[in-house]
Chain A
Amino acid sequence: MRLTDDLIGSDIGAYLQKHENKSLLRFITCGSVDDGKSTLIGRLLYDSKMIFEDQLASLEADSKRVGTQGENIDFALLVDGLAAEREQGITIDVAYRFFATDKRKFIVADTPGHEQYTRNMATGASTADVAILMIDARKGILTQTRRHSFITTLLGIRRLVLAVNKMDLVDYKQQVFDDIVDDFYAFADELATDLEVQPIPMSALAGINITERSNETDWYDGPSLMEYLETVPIGDKRLGAPFRMPVQWVNRPNLDFRGFSGQIAAGSIRPGDRVKTLPSGRQSTIGRIVTATGDLDEAIAGQSVTLTLTDEIDSSRGDVIVSADDPAEVSDQFQARLLWMSDTPLLPGRRYLMKIGAKTVTATINAPKYGIDINTLNDVSARTLELNQIGVTTLSLDQPIAFDPYDENREMGGFILIDRQTNDTVALGLIDFALRRASNIHWQAIDIDRSALAEQKGQKPAVLWFTGLSGSGKSTIANALQKRLFALGKHSFILDGDNVRHGLNRDLGFTDADRVENIRRVSNVARLMADAGLITLVSFISPFRNERQMARGLMADGEFVEIHVDTPLGVAESRDVKGLYKKARAGEIKNFTGIDSPYEPPLNPEVRINTVGQSPEDAAEEILGYLQEKGFLSD
């Protein structure tokens, strides 16, 4: 950019005027080092004169010292932090690079192309307008090309550059180029029907068709890469779409002003336009579009503004202001595609936080319907999702949200999942559609309610949740307690882990994911029993805090009583009533709690039972005392 424009020296004012009005294009480069990706980016930076002399001097020195191009400049060294990153043990990641030409400013998301960096590529693609797919002309379309095309189109990019690189090594033969392009089109239809593909033959190393069209490929009449990047239309379907703005912040400087601040996600808006706030559905009219430099007559997608409404509507962060004529959908159950980004696999049935727009809700993720093999694009069966895996699943939320399908609007349909314990971002998700059953299956109103059922039995319903190691004495104590309750004329029922696994949960094993599903089903059954007015004794190892927390969350306040049967592993193992510890130690049973699968003890159980030196009957008596004290048994 510098030095290419004489105006800089002669009339800086005119130059700046011109350059203030440049547009901004964001693109992602996909490929591995071997494809010449770093060389390409290095050359784009170099050719746009974004390299300062001190950097150039060190580049020339490095090129001679460690470069791969003899006495010539090795452009790859400009951007190739990868070797250094490996040495430092740093995660190879998305790096953002910046350059500008006379026409545009560019932001490049530079991501490695190997399968283990799928999440990084997806992150880079999520904000990109264009993807450049690097292909080595000698190798043609490879598995990784299919993978890169899939990930970038999955994230919504519809403009792809097929950068057929290293044409110098195949003597710039048109046939080689044409064959590769044909191969690509042969599977491109599977990706999306509205793709715009621009194939360009090039040599990043020799600078062929990078900034200018070259005579070496006189059979090619398309643009050079830079010509394409400078002229390709920017933006997506968002602008023609109906108006959407998630409310980020309620702007209340004083009692006379109430504005809703946010970044417009789709469409445009003018004062006087009719709008709705979702999910409440209340209607109003846009009063003003407020910015620090004065009110606007119109605002469009991408702008950060503050809107006022003509009616006093109580709207808060996370609501979405939408066009009244063409509102977004509202639902609490969805089908979505998930890309798993965490080393800890998805645990179906577990609750995660879901952030979409400015809204954060709790979402229960169900087991995937199927996974997608990102190399073959085939559906594969999947019970969970591991790092970098993509799958289709359904999820249900604790409250309804406004959304549009991801393919219609990235901001309104894209979300992240957050682990509630670690706070890590564990997945990226794309909403496909709402499940109709969410809106069509209503709660059946029942005339005789749960309190009536409990009163009839002269008790307060409770879920007594016995947790502890195998052989700790859970079932024995629960049995003893039930006998006592029965004698007192109380209505109770025992849900026992082993017994339930013979029927309701016979399809589940002992992996972490299955354990979570096991608990999800049992806690729902226990809840129904509590609704029926019963005192329900649940005797399950239930090793994970998170799932016990989930069970607690299902029950009415005060009805969940966590009982930790706190028997040390050594004692439980020495009892070994069922002979299971012996088998686990011998490796005959996998995923055995306490041996090769963790047990997370409760931090604040309502009752903690020490079984060493105490009989099951005494333990039952202790729990009975607790129930009496808390009023569960009084008539």
Chain B
Amino acid sequence: MKDETDLAKMTHLDRLEAESLHIMREVASECENPVMLYSVGKDSAVMLHLAMKAFYPSRPPFPLMHVDTTWKFREMIEFRDRKAAEMGMDLLVHVNEEGVRDGVGPFTHGSAMHTDIMKTAALKQALDKYKFDAAFGGARRDEEKSRAKERVFSFRSSEHRWDPKKQRPEPWNLYNTRIHPGESVRVFPLSNWTELDIWQYIRREQIEIVPLYFAKERPVVSWNGVDIMVDDDRVPEELAKTAVMKSVRFRTLGCYPLTGAVESTAATLEEIIQEMLLTTTSERQGRVIDADQAASMEKKKQEGYF
């Protein structure tokens, strides 16, 4: 007989990992046409790593999909293509071609409209196009208040709307995955992870992440009160002229004009974690999209934002 404290032999990271693997296998078993939304950020990196573990020695039985707003950092795109190839995963890239035709971008249309067209609408287009009934996302409950009460399996109507009043109870590790035709489910295998858990796991498992997370001399300009990187020549000329080189890194990754750089010298994982532990602002502060309107996440989600 084993002592019951043996469960403590599993560290918090072990337990989180086992739970995530269980969730992914449920989706693979019960959903007909799942996809993993791959945003190229650190949470996506962890999610992909977990997927490789969940189905080993098989390949994960679903493709990756990236909704490309065409304004992502160039390094993200390189990393994305290389990683998918290395892992032997199918990668689908979806771009809202209408938005591209209309020249939608953050500099010309503002962050709200850009995000709405190139990200939210694009995601809906992609899900409709491929008729995915389940989509993994890397969101965590510690990120933001409305996430704290969202389920692991989060159901969407055929119009992709989230109804917080109609959430299904999830006792034990039992997930009811049944949906009507046209409906879909967003699945969050990292629900119970915190930002620190993610970093610790990246360190423990030696997971490769986009170099933008590490500090380096980069050209930045101040736009809307945030330091952003001049990643290509689409930064308006007047603004680009003001660029200065600074040692910066990024705490989250998205569209480069909407992602605030933080001044930092943290060039290793340890230094990043150290900086995070000693730092004084929460992760989402660098995201221009949240500042747009108070309590905006709940609203965006009801409209179909991930």
Contacts and interface: CB of A to CB of B under 8 A. Distances in A.
B262 to A, nearest CB: 13
B176 A303 contact: no
Interface string A406-447: 000011001110100001110010000000000000000000
Contacts, number: 205
Contacts of B82: none
Contacts of B25: 248-249, 261-262, 304
Interface string A234-253: 11111110000000110111
Contact of A290 (B15, B57, B200): B57
Interface string A91-135: 101111110100011010000000000011011001100000000
A628 to B, nearest CB: 38
Interface size bucket, B side?
A: 35 or more
B149 interface: yes
B186 interface: no
Interface in B1-29: 1-19, 21-22, 25-26, 28-29
Which of A3, A91, A236, A292 neighbours the largest number of chain B CB atoms within 10 Å of its CB?
A: A292
Nearest to A107: B192
A51 to B, nearest CB: 9
Given A123-B169, A428-B169, A416 B6 contact: no
B145 interface: yes
Given A22-B12, A96-B148, A53 B280 contact: yes
B165 A9 contact: no
B285 interface: yes
Given A20-B204, A126-B172, A54 B282 contact: yes
Contacts of B29: 248-249, 317, 358
Contacts of A2: 277-278
Interface in B169-197: 169-174, 176, 178-180, 191-192, 194, 196-197
B293 interface: no
B4 A251 contact: no
Contact of B172 (A8, A96, A127, A290): A127
B282 A300 contact: no
Interface string B150-178: 00000000000000110111111110101
B5 A411 contact: no
Which of B6, B14, B28, B280 neighbours the largest number of chain A CB atoms within 10 Å of its CB?
A: B6
A561 interface: no
B169 A119 contact: yes
B274 A8 contact: yes
B67 to A, nearest CB: 27
Contact of B270 (A13, A20, A104, A300): A13
A206 interface: no
A16 B2 contact: no
A604 B306 CA distance: 39
B203 A54 contact: no
A290 B56 contact: yes
Given A415-B174, A418-B176, A95 B196 contact: no
B275 to A, nearest CB: 9
Given A91-B167, A304-B21, A355-B174, A9 B7 contact: no
A90 interface: yes
Nearest to B299: A88
B117 interface: no
Nearest to B13: A20
B141 A96 contact: yes
Contact of A303 (B10, B54, B273): B10
B109 interface: no
Interface string A291-318: 1110000001111101000000000010
Contacts of B142: 98
B224 interface: no
Nearest to A54: B281
Contacts of B179: 423
Contacts of A97: 148
Closest 8 CB pairs between A and B? A235-B7, A53-B280, A24-B12, A304-B21, A126-B171, A292-B56, A253-B58, A105-B12
26 contacts: A3-B278, A13-B270, A16-B200, A16-B203, A23-B12, A24-B11, A52-B279, A52-B281, A81-B148, A93-B149, A96-B141, A98-B141, A105-B197, A122-B171, A235-B6, A236-B7, A251-B57, A251-B58, A253-B59, A262-B25, A263-B173, A292-B56, A304-B17, A355-B176, A416-B174, A425-B169
Given A93-B149, A248-B29, A249-B29, 14 more contacts: A2-B278, A22-B11, A52-B280, A81-B145, A90-B164, A100-B196, A233-B8, A236-B4, A239-B4, A240-B3, A252-B58, A259-B57, A290-B56, A290-B57
